[in-house]
């Protein structure tokens, strides 16, 4: 949940990602998605939308805070990751982050 993303709206946020990718390049702009907050189909639709902007999607697993919600299952995370990899290949965009040290909380 990111108030800033919500307040500007999805279409404006995607336009911003497209502009940022055009200025800085695909491998310099990323947008994070929290996997497990929404249904799998919605998360994968977001991966596709981000790729269409030329931006790298970054997938982080949901970690419940103070017992709110449940951890997504390993099967759910693996399935989302596999399908996200298919999507990014179609757009020739890598999943973020590219730095090995930055991958500690991502899929």
Tens-digit pLDDT profile for residues 44-70: 999 999 999 999 999 999 998 888 888
DSSP track, 22-84: HHH-GGG-EEEEEETSS-HHHHHHHHHHHHHTTPEEEEEE---BTTBS-PPPHHHHHHHHHHH
How far apart are the C-alpha atoms of 86 and 26, rounded to whole Å? 17
pLDDT tens digit string along 19-41?
999 999 989 999 999 999 999 99
DSSP line for 68-102: BS-PPPHHHHHHHHHHHHHHHHHHT-PPBP-SGGG
**Residue that wins the pLDDT comparison between 56 and 100:** 56
Structure confidence at residue 67 (pLDDT): 81
pLDDT confidence band for 102 (50 / 70 / 90): confident
User: What's residue 22's pLDDT?
Assistant: 96
Confidence tier at 6 by pLDDT (50, 70, 90): confident
């Amino acid at each position: 949940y990111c108030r800033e993303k919500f307040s500007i709206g999805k279409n404006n946020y995607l336009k911003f990602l497209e502009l940022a990718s055009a200025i800085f390049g695909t491998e310099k702009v990323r947008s994070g998605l929290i996997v497990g907050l929404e249904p799998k189909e919605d998360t994968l639709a977001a991966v596709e939308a981000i790729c269409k902007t030329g931006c790298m999607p970054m997938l982080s697993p949901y970690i419940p805070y103070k017992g709110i919600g449940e951890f997504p299952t390993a099967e759910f995370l693996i399935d989302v990751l596999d399908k996200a990899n298919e999507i990014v290949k179609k757009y020739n965009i890598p999943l973020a982050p590219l730095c090995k040290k930055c991958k500690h909380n991502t899929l």
